[in-house]
Copies of this chain bind each other. A is one copy, B any other.
Amino acid sequence: MIASDVRLGEGVLIHQPDLVNLYGCRIGSGTRVGPFVEIQKDVEVGANCKISSHSFLCSGVIIEDFVFIGHGVMFINDVYPAAVNADGSIQSADDWTCLPTRVRRNASIGSNATILGGISIGEHALIGAGAVVTHDVPHHAIVAGVPARIVGDARAARASREGTVQTLEIS
């Protein structure tokens, strides 16, 4: 289910087009998208990213180039989700403010992580699996936990791959 208004760059690879739900979004060249992914309208995904299975990218999300989104990652774009307004009427697009979220180039988000609305994730940052991100993440930071805290520096971790796992473990 790739709506006709989706703009796909050159060489975009969507492994199972019948098992995704993409509409009104733009996907940069060379990016790969797994099955069971929903990408809503106005989302922009950069070039050479990987959007893994079971992830949800809501309106308001901007993904820069070279970003890795793990499996089951959920983005959020409202402060206070609700089915109805205070007066009981059904909420429509006019009834809430869409909080923008930006994931900067080369960041990696671990599986089952949840990213609250209005967040900025820095370049080369690493979000641990299962983390709930409630604050901005600096460039190169490694964060983990619920809520996510800074537990290391991705530059050091890149220098020693064993180090990455250890850092995440002590979170």
Classify chain A: how many residues form its interface, as a range. 35 or more
Residues in B neighbouring A135, C-beta threshold 8 A = 169
Instruction: Give bound CA distance, A149 to B34, whole Å.
Output: 31
Instruction: Give bound CA distance, A146 to B128, whole Å.
Output: 10
Contact yes or no, A88 B66, CB < 8 A? yes
The proximity string for A residues 12-47 relative to B, scoring 1 for CB distances below 8 Å and 0 otherwise, is 000110110100000000100011101000000000
Contact A129 to B110, CB < 8 A, known contacts A19-B1, A76-B70: no
Contact yes or no, A132 B132, CB < 8 A? no
> How many copies of this chain?
3
Contact yes or no, A81 B56, CB < 8 A? no
Residues from 65 to 100 in A contacting B, C-beta threshold 8 Å: 66-68, 70-72, 74, 76, 79-84, 86, 88, 90-91
Contact yes or no, B164 A80, CB < 8 A? yes
Q: Which of B16, B146, B161 contacts A80 (CB 8 A)?
A: B161
Q: Check if A101 is an interface residue, CB within 8 A of chain B.
A: no
Least CB distance, A66 to chain B, in whole angstroms: 5
Q: Check if A54 is an interface residue, CB within 8 A of chain B.
A: yes
Residues in B neighbouring A168, C-beta threshold 8 A = 116, 134, 147
Return 9 A-B CB contacts under 8 Å, by A number.
Answer: A67-B83, A79-B165, A82-B108, A110-B114, A114-B129, A116-B168, A134-B165, A134-B169, A147-B171
User: Which A residues are within 8 Å of any B CB, using their own CB?
Assistant: 1, 15-16, 18-19, 21, 30, 34-36, 38, 48-50, 53-54, 56, 58, 66-68, 70-72, 74, 76, 79-84, 86, 88, 90-91, 106, 108, 110-112, 114, 116, 118, 126, 128-132, 134-135, 144-147, 157-158, 161-162, 164-165, 168-169, 171
